Amino acid sequence: MTKNALITGITGQDGAYIARLLLDKGYEVFGLHARRASDTLWRLRELDVLDRVELIEGDLTDLSSMIRAMNKSQATEVYNLGAQSFVATSWEQPILTGYVTGLGALNMMEAIRLTNQKARFYQASTSEMFGKIQESMQSEATPFYPRSPYGVAKLYAHWMTVNYRESFDMHCSSGILFNHESPLRGIEFVTRKVTDAVARIKQGKQKELRLGNIDAKRDWGHAADYVEAMWLMLQQDVPDDYVVATGRTTTVRDMCKIAFSHVGLNYEDFVVIDPKFYRPAEVEVLLGNPAKAKAKLGWEAKISLEEMITTMVNADMKRVAREV
Ligand code: NAP
Ligand code: F7E
């Protein structure tokens, strides 16, 4: 029997990758598509899945459209990936971030509860919930200390996921994913900002790259690997929370080195520190412990940071070359 899945945030980086993964596994895939004035479907086109998914118009802040999406899709698995996900913007739009990233998750769970309580739910939680880290390596047992309105909104959604699991016996799981990137990453995030700039500088279309705190450290993996972990969580008999990470942390500075040196450039000749990109409160370092995901899901990251960043640079070199 075909399985039906509903993905919120299908037009985002992870939404596109998990849509492809689920289609490859034979699912019928439905995606919530928030109406926008400009085109947001480029990622689904790049992965060649746009014609194979059914888009349902709706917004995470609108419970009635979520209920309609559940009824229309008849989904038995729901992946809640929709969010205002850019940390820096969450200080400029804290209330919107709370509505979409926090309450949006609750709307999705309420829609499930009102339509088909048996449907399985995945919540896209985040290492940003650890924020000002309370342990040098963060696991499912590490206390949370979010440092941005985004992190706080995600923590609300995380605890509501735990609460719905415990209150209503619903199959709700929370994946605490550390940073993951790909050639489909939004241009505002630091890895893609860097790989795009490397391509432009190499092709003579940009002179410098302005960045904020390049001493920040992140545990970076590849989105294509990480969506596998999401799917695995919903295949378990018992819902649970899992950290998904590589177990290696790297500075933004060293990530820049990898990206620039791939095209024979020295990052120090082009990177300019601009306080404009500093955040009101920074998450200095993140390092995840993926032991539980490995033991219980049999999951581990396959793609290295070097392979991912060089693939991203190669993709941006092609994109920039195509521009007129
Ligand atoms: P992304 O590329 O920013 O995608 C976010 C998605 O949410 C987009 O499809 C966006 O639609 C949609 N969206 C925004 N506001 C919405 C609304 N009001 N109603 C419905 N949909 C809305 O994010 P991502 O990197 O794929 O991440 C996926 C999820 O994982 C997010 O929840 C993110 O917070 C979380 N997460 C990401 C990472 C990471 O490193 N990538 C790590 C941990 C957790 P439009 O395209 O129309 O704007
Ligand atoms: O920043 C520093 C910045 O914006 C990474 C989201 O997917 O992962 C992401 O959040 C680091 C930070 O990602 C610039 O200060 C320096 O320390 O790429 P980012 P993020 O904030 O870690 C988590 C897990 C999520 O859940 C989020 O949704 O890089 N940094 N200079 C900069 N960052 C940006 N964006 N731009 C700069 O110029």
Which pLDDT does position 292 carry in this prediction? Answer: 98
Q: Residue 296: CB partners within 8 Å, gap ≥ 6?
A: 236, 240, 242
For residue 296, being part of any structural domain is answered with no
Residue 171 has pLDDT above 80, yes or no: yes
Which pLDDT does position 296 carry in this prediction? Answer: 98
Long-range contacts made by residues 64-67, C-beta under 8 angstroms, separation at least 24? 65/32, 66/32, 66/107, 66/108, 66/110, 66/111, 67/111, 67/114, 67/115
189 and 44 together in one domain = no
Q: How far is the CA of 15 from the centre of ligand 1 (A)?
A: 8
Q: Which residues pair with 244 in a beta bridge?
A: 177
46 and 155 together in one domain = yes
For residue 290, being part of any structural domain is answered with no
Least reliable range by pLDDT among 38-42, 158-162, 293-297, 318-322: 38-42
- CB burial class (10 A; 0-12, 13-18, 19+) of residue 8? buried
**Beta carbon of 193 within 6 Å of any ligand 2 atom:** yes
For residue 293, being part of any structural domain is answered with no
For residue 141, being part of any structural domain is answered with yes
CB 174, CB 241: distance < 8 Å = yes
Which pLDDT does position 234 carry in this prediction? Answer: 98
**Which of 63, 65, 81, 99 is the best mutation target for the ligand 1 pocket, counting ligand atoms within 8 Å of the beta carbon and taking the most?**
81
Residue 246 has pLDDT above 80, yes or no: yes
**CA atoms of 102 and 291, how far apart (whole Å):** 27
65 and 116 together in one domain = yes
**Beta carbon of 36 within 6 Å of any ligand 1 atom:** yes
17 and 55 together in one domain = yes
Q: Residue 314: CB partners within 8 Å, gap ≥ 6?
A: none
Provide the token pair at 233: 């969580």
Q: What is the mean pLDDT of the chain?
A: 98
**CA atoms of 174 and 241, how far apart (whole Å):** 5
Report, as an integer, the average pLDDT of 287-295. 98
Report, as an integer, the average pLDDT of 157-176. 98
**CA atoms of 148 and 154, how far apart (whole Å):** 10
Distances (CA, A) of 215 to 87, 252, 293: 17, 6, 28
Provide the token pair at 269: 């000749």
- Per the annotation, the verdict on 306 as an active-site residue is no
Residue 2 has pLDDT above 90, yes or no: no
CB 263, CB 313: distance < 8 Å = yes
78 and 126 together in one domain = yes
Provide the token pair at 289: 């412990």
226 and 317 together in one domain = no
Which pLDDT does position 1 carry in this prediction? Answer: 76
- CB burial class (10 A; 0-12, 13-18, 19+) of residue 322? exposed
Residue 167 has pLDDT above 90, yes or no: yes
Per the structure, the complete domain to which residue 119 belongs is given by 4-180+220-244
pLDDT tens column, 64-104: 999 999 999 999 999 999 999 999 999 999 999 999 999 99
For residue 128, being part of any structural domain is answered with yes
Provide the token pair at 223: 């989105």
194 and 113 together in one domain = no
Which pLDDT does position 324 carry in this prediction? Answer: 79
How many structural domains are present in the chain?
2
pLDDT tens column, 177-200: 999 999 999 999 999 999 999 999
Element housing 243 (H / E): strand 241-244
For residue 289, being part of any structural domain is answered with no
CATH number of the domain at 265, please: 3.90.25.10
Percent of the chain with pLDDT over 90: 97
141 and 12 together in one domain = yes
203 and 273 together in one domain = yes
**Helix ranges (DSSP H) in 36-189:** 42-46, 63-73, 89-92, 94-97, 104-115, 149-168
**Beta carbon of 189 within 6 Å of any ligand 2 atom:** yes
Q: Which residues pair with 242 in a beta bridge?
A: 175
For residue 105, being part of any structural domain is answered with yes
For residue 260, being part of any structural domain is answered with yes
Element housing 300 (H / E): none
Which pLDDT does position 280 carry in this prediction? Answer: 97
CATH number of the domain at 175, please: 3.40.50.720
Report, as an integer, the average pLDDT of 286-301. 98
Active-site position among 17, 150, 164, 267:
150
95 and 211 together in one domain = no
67 and 191 together in one domain = no
Q: How far is the CA of 274 from the centre of ligand 1 (A)?
A: 26
115 and 201 together in one domain = no
**Beta carbon of 253 within 6 Å of any ligand 2 atom:** no
| Nearest by Cα to 257 from 310, 321, 295, 220 | 310
